[in-house]
Structure 1
Amino acid sequence: MYKFAILPLLFLSLTSCEDELNLAPISEVGSNGFFTNAGDFEQAVNGIYASLGVTGGGDYPSMYVILDESRSDNIYSPGNAGVRDWNAINNFLPTIATLGTVERAWNIGFNGIMRANTVLDELAANGGVIGDGGLATRFEAEARFLRAFYYFDLVKWYGRVPLIETFVTPDEALEIARSPVEDVYALIIADLEYAIANLPAAHSGLDKGRATSLAARGILARVYLTRSGPVLHSEGPCLASGEYDKAAALLDDIISSNQFGMVDDYGAIFDYDNEGNAEIVWDIQFISGGVGAGGYYPTEYYDEGWARVNLPFAGGNPGDGSKRVSQDLLNSYEEGDLRVAETFLLNYVNDNGETVDAQFFDKYTDVAKAGGDRFDWSLNYPIIRYTDVLLLRAEATLQGASGTQESVDAVVNAVRQRAGLDEISGVTLDVLLEERRREFAGENLRWDDLVRTGRVVDVMNDFIATEDDNDKMQTVTTDDIIYPVPQQQLDVKQGLYSQNPGY
């Protein structure tokens, strides 16, 4: 299976260039004659995937935990001292442009884009050395898929971003302003359409885990659903484009492929010994024991005190920095919901023999599978699950795409049946979103769901009114839909970028 342990020396050497990564979204040093055969190109494509892992600058799924889940009503982490990035993000402080996570997510995204652009440039100039036109086309499709993937997250997090489609030097990057969201989406859609047309529907053997045409359809469906959302922020990711039918058609393609299905046991989806199960449309690959090949994201959720008792290494969220599951989320589960035990750890016994009220996500944690340290979890991170495909299809129907109320109810009831719950009828969009909240708790989809459907401001302010006993969270406005441009990016060249409103 394709894992992050397969890394090109070229890109491993480049990732140590911290000074360059702290400049605008610049590209690192070019290929230097590296691309001489098909193997070189394959290693370079692997380097684009590697930006998703620890070696890419901080474990990409960790960005989702902090920027998405910790921002949503699924976590309450005000922090008495408020020194952790996720405390400030959870509290909706306007002073977060200097946070390391806000900067790191920008840098990792553009580092991945740089790597993709380098491969694409070299394919155009020197792709003939591959000798296999079909393989060269696949490499281009993978590079464009990943470029689109990174850009989509950047648009959701920052709104307007620099649009860079080729290798640029640091000096050249300092002349590239932020582009309108519509222009960035145009590149994302073109890249994903190329990936859909030129990637296989599935991979096997050592290539399993690479991008597929069905994964590209899933990402593009999310793009159309997000673009279709109501415009609450003039520079945000939603454009009120009304493209629900386009999203529905792509999701139908995934469903009709018959390659995927709902796993009967909810917990089995996240079993370390069951990776690549029928639920997984596409995931980020990790493997324990390799240099920088494991994942850190499970560590983002658990408490330091729990780790001291249960794990052979230190790590986890310290003291008042705990990413505590909100009471609001826990209260939303019906009695007997089988997902609760698989998703949360509600208490543990610490090293003093005391029972600690914990309330953290442990969906991704298996003590028996702990690696060599807190950066070495081997569980692949699911980006697109089949249940997500089904529920997004139901959402598209409720937003006006083809389909019936009966089809929506059937999907939601299939999810509820697996959770051990009774059937319901007449599912509305709000009911669907609440079911998604419980189904994907800890999977970092909740914030996107609220933004995409235009509910984010009302839901979050209602949440603050009932949950924020510490009186730390600020009133949410439409400015909070996107993050600030990292301050370091503003400082590189005065006037190149303007800051997003509200920061």
Structure 2
Amino acid sequence: MKTKSFLIKITLLALPMFLWNCSEQLNEEQELVVQQGDIDYTSEESAFGALVGSYRTFQSLGWEQVPLLSVRGDDVNAGGLGDQQGFADTDNFIYDNNYWMYNSLWNSWFQDVLQITVQIDQLEQFKENGVDANLIDQYIAESKTLRGFITLQLSRAFGDVYKIASPDQTQIEVLPKDQLMQWISDQMDEAVPDLLDAHPVDRNDLPGGITKYTALTVKAMANLELENYQGVADATGQIINSNKFELFDDFYNLFKIPGKLSRENILEIQYSDFGQSSGDNVGHLYAFYGSQNWTPAVAGASSGWGFYEPSLKYIKFMLDRDETIRLETSVLFTNRGIAELEAAGYTNMPSFVNNTTRDGDRINDYSRAMFASGKHYLPSVQLTPGRTSYGTNKNYTVIRYAEVLLMYAEALTRGATGNAGSADSAINEVRQRAGLSPINGATSQDVIDEKFAEFAMEWGIRYADMVRLEKTNELSYDGRTFTMDKAYLPYPLAQLEQSFILREYANNNN
């Protein structure tokens, strides 16, 4: 994954961009057509290519996907004045199932799930044709882990969604969320024995690729959704006891170039411009998150779009806790935003609450927001000379060891037993890096607060926690009113029109 050949390799298989065409007959073969070229199923190299196809599918993360997962949390606000009104409405729990982002999130990720499932099906054929069975089982397990993670995120967004375990369309079904989470957990149990027992960065074939610890983390996340806290403690405890992971000592740079493939990262999407000023560039469109108006330290570096804003509630929460490095890392401040904080009584703020970052980029006032996400910011001085796109060459952090520690801590505070230390030891490891004093006798609320401080703006973690715990009061802030009937986005209208499976399920469960 670290090499250019991994980043730009083309998948062996290609799928149409459209699932379940308008026909209501589930058994019509033309509804799902997989195109494939000539494949040598006796070749280990071709099998590796099929695995890379799964990673390449996951790598194609759309710019709108994670923001839509995150925006309903009380850590994130939608920036904008009329632009992307549907995104702003979603932030306020006003849902339009015809909004293009909903359909894009659903369609893009379920296309990815189906593509990965096809890769799994193809990998089975390599085993049947004599390629090392243990190697193929590993590749299948890696693909299952990616599929499980994506399905989990889709279920967090929409609730009851497709379980796709086969490319056979007649086998695809919609399951209630709790059944999906159990299926994902079971899938990870199948995957773990076949995966490498290593830190992802220590893989020689694909540095940063899936290992057993990635699957264990996905299992813990699924069990957290189920509130099976013993299952969470068991999975996270194995990761902690492996002693293969550690927190990156520089929280500020964890989300920047020095943090690429750190020993904290359990899963990240890797991008690269290959250290060249022009030419090949595999990257993510980070502009959505960026400030709309800045004066970069490196002249010519592009600004962002201003659609993703850390909430004033989150910033006040952090100031009240005397947070330093995590607040500086998570939030980019404008003078307008600083004035808003001062008007709210915060008149003696730390020196880093400034519109110029430590790397010399000045965040000027702009109309769409008062703050921008620092976790999606790459200092202009870290851009490869000649590259100007906002955030280009920055990896997308997906799962961190800090999340494992805090899931373990929460599980123990909710009655689970663990063999990887106490809840205090896990939460205090995270707090120590943040420069905070240790806690004695950590409670569940202490852990939830720590997760709020640690994971703001990341993958909708805060929103998922508040929904799981039914914290309607926390999500009802700054004029918003959240009720549990708003926990999940509605099925996209375009998908209801196209899929008999989904339409029938929705009609039967209204």
Band of TM-score, shorter chain: 0.7 to 0.9
Other-structure match for 1:187? 183
Distance 1:247 1:227 in 2: 10
Alignment of 1:473-484 (within 5 A): 473=480, 475-484=481-490
How many residue pairs were aligned?
461
Distance 1:159 1:428 in 2: 28
Q: CA deviation at 1:451?
A: 2.0
Other-structure match for 2:51? 45
Other-structure match for 2:347? none
Deviation digits for residues 123-166 of structure 1 (CA, Å, limit 9, x no counterpart): 33442446222211111111221221222122222222232322
Q: CA deviation at 1:20?
A: 5.2
Residue number among 249, 268, 282 corresponding to 1:283 in the alignment:
268
Other-structure match for 1:302? 290
Q: Is contact 2:248–2:254 with CA below 8 Å preserved after alignment?
A: yes
Other-structure match for 2:140? 140
Distance 2:363 2:434 in 1: 33
Deviates more, 1:78-87 or 1:219-228: 78-87
3-state SS, counterpart of residue 201 of structure 1: coil
Q: Is contact 2:293–2:365 with CA below 8 Å preserved after alignment?
A: no
Deviation digits for residues 406-452 of structure 1 (CA, Å, limit 9, x no counterpart): 93233333323322223343432222211111111222321122123
User: Sequence identity, in percent?
Assistant: 24
Other-structure match for 1:31? 36
Residue number among 382, 390, 395 corresponding to 1:369 in the alignment:
382
Q: CA deviation at 1:299?
A: 2.4
Other-structure match for 1:270? 255
Other-structure match for 2:341? none
Deviation digits for residues 245-272 of structure 1 (CA, Å, limit 9, x no counterpart): 1210111110111111123322232230
Change in 2 beyond 3 A, CA 1:91/1:22: farther
Deviation digits for residues 333-364 of structure 1 (CA, Å, limit 9, x no counterpart): 12352222222110248x99965683111223
Other-structure match for 1:115? 115
Distance 1:460 1:9 in 2: 41
Distance 2:500 2:509 in 1: 19
Q: Which residues of structure 2 form unaligned runs of 5+?
A: 335-354
3-state SS, counterpart of residue 372 of structure 2: strand
Q: Which residues of structure 1 form unaligned runs of 5+?
A: 229-242
Q: CA RMSD in A?
A: 3.4
Distance 2:219 2:92 in 1: 31
Other-structure match for 2:223? 224
Other-structure match for 2:433? 418
Deviates more, 1:273-282 or 1:368-377: 368-377
Q: Is contact 2:294–2:362 with CA below 8 Å preserved after alignment?
A: no
Other-structure match for 1:99? 99
Distance 1:264 1:353 in 2: 26
Deviation digits for residues 376-400 of structure 1 (CA, Å, limit 9, x no counterpart): 7222222221111111111001111
Q: Is contact 1:266–1:342 with CA below 8 Å preserved after alignment?
A: yes
Alignment of 1:118-197 (within 5 A): 118-129=118-129, 131-168=131-168, 172=169, 176-197=172-193
Q: CA deviation at 1:31?
A: 3.0
Letter of the structure 2 residue corresponding to residue 139 of structure 1: Y
Q: Is contact 2:475–2:482 with CA below 8 Å preserved after alignment?
A: yes
Q: Is contact 1:307–1:316 with CA below 8 Å preserved after alignment?
A: no
Change in 2 beyond 3 A, CA 1:223/1:299: same
Distance 1:341 1:493 in 2: 46
Is 1:446 matched with 2:462?
Answer: yes
Other-structure match for 1:235? none
3-state SS, counterpart of residue 332 of structure 1: helix
Q: CA deviation at 1:329?
A: 0.4
Distance 2:152 2:105 in 1: 12
Change in 2 beyond 3 A, CA 1:354/1:166: closer
Other-structure match for 2:237? 252
Deviates more, 1:364-373 or 1:273-282: 364-373
Is 1:335 matched with 2:346?
Answer: no
Change in 2 beyond 3 A, CA 1:177/1:270: closer
